[in-house]
Amino acid sequence: MVDTEYIRSQFPILKTVINGKYPLVYLDNAATTQKPLAVIQALTDYYTNCNANVHRGVHYLSSLATDMFEQARQEVKDFIRCGDDGQVIFTKGTTDSVNLLAHCLAKTFLSKDDTVLITQMEHHSNIVPWQIASQDYGFTLDYIPIDNNGELVLDKLYKHKDLDKVKVLSLTHISNTLGTVNPIKEITRFCRQHNIITVVDGAQSIAHQIIDVQDLGADFYCFSGHKVYAPMGIGVLYGRKKLLDKTDVYQGGGEMIKQVTMEKTTYNDLPYKYEAGTPSVADAIALGKALQWFKSLSVSDVTAYEDSLLEYALQRLDEIDGIRIIGNAAHRSSCISFVCQGIHHLDLGTLLDAMGIAVRTGHHCAEPVMQFFSIEGTDRISFAVYTTRQEIDMFISALQKAVKMLR
């Protein structure tokens, strides 16, 4: 059971008052989650008591910081159920992780005769890096389309005309715009049978369901800390060790080397091979604390609670004439995108903000989705463990007022 009153007491920012009148109703969690006191305190504690660079230092503060940094890595491994054959690499976030993979996989495994598949529902961060890599390395980039429900047309994978040439599939676990939950286990099972490397963008799934990367079967899984109650600027790339061992390096510099001479460089062991330069130590430690805090709530309870919020919000939105929900997948989670007939999404979002309701407006870095549905953008609400039914009611009330004003 989720005790929202107790949980909300741990988020000071939720007490914010907008325009001196309206309590903040924060429904922009797909963009970033707020941070609990445990995470804020972890940042303060690090810089107050143990600020030092990690690894190789023999002094007390460096040893302490290193222990805390590596303990955070262990927290990530435990949270995503990494297993002995997996590795956890700290990155700046999902975008950084995908850029790393697009470059390294293309350089190591792909030729000009090969194909990489993405999907039409991807965030730009899982489109643009592959487009750049395609231009740089010459492979073909293709995509799996979506249907009118916002679900993948998976026959375009299963019956791909050049299936023997498909070497990598990179796709989102949960769409940041449609809320569609993709059948990752089914997809990765098929890809393993056809020797296709799978990359999963977990930015929108990490805070909404139990993540077991071994059970999902993905070769790589990426997420951002700020989507799961941790600071911005820290993220994770999980990968299978056998693939990471074979894959060429991404960036050069300190930490990722064993030895450097003026003639050549020998690279470090995993995971440090991919962690060039001074890491974001405090943010990594705070990520570990965030995952520890989140896990203490029972992730399965959080999933059930948020699913009930989603169902309730959809029911309430159905009460308002002219609202069109974008995406109607059989399996969905975490967010709702909608348009209101005759009203621009930005105008609607602006009026909602004036009444204390924080929503996201625009194309949500998923322009191909907008193009498919022939719209410029949407208003999007997205939930977190601290969201309440009362807040959904407050949102609906404000939405009704805004619609009346704009029509």
On whether the CB atoms of residues 247 and 100 are closer than 8 A, the answer is: no
- Tell me the DSSP string of 347-365: HHHHHHHHTTEE-EEE-TT
* C-alpha dihedral, 191 to 83 to 88 to 385, nearest 10°: 90
In whole angstroms, what separates CA 202 from the centre of its chain? Answer: 5
CB burial class (10 A; 0-12, 13-18, 19+) of residue 146? buried
Packing angle between helix 37-49 and helix 281-296, nearest 10 degrees?
Answer: 150
- pTM of the prediction? 0.96
Per-residue pLDDT of the chain (407 residues; tens, 9 = 90+): 899 999 999 999 999 999 999 999 999 999 999 999 999 999 999 999 999 999 988 899 999 999 999 999 999 999 999 988 789 999 999 999 999 999 999 999 999 999 999 999 999 999 999 999 999 999 999 999 999 999 999 999 999 999 999 999 999 999 999 999 999 999 999 999 999 999 999 999 999 999 999 999 999 999 999 999 999 999 999 999 999 999 999 999 988 889 999 999 999 999 999 999 999 999 999 999 999 999 999 999 999 999 999 999 999 999 999 999 999 999 999 899 999 999 999 999 999 999 999 999 999 999 999 999 999 999 999 999 999 999 999 999 999 999 999 98
Q: Which residues contact 236 (CB under 8 A, 6 or more apart)?
A: 76, 80, 88, 89, 90, 91, 97, 222, 223, 225, 287
Q: Within 10 Å of residue 365's Cβ, how many Cβ atoms?
A: 17
Domains, the chain, with CATH or none? 4-28+299-406 (3.90.1150.10), 41-295 (3.40.640.10)
Residues acting as catalytic residues: 365
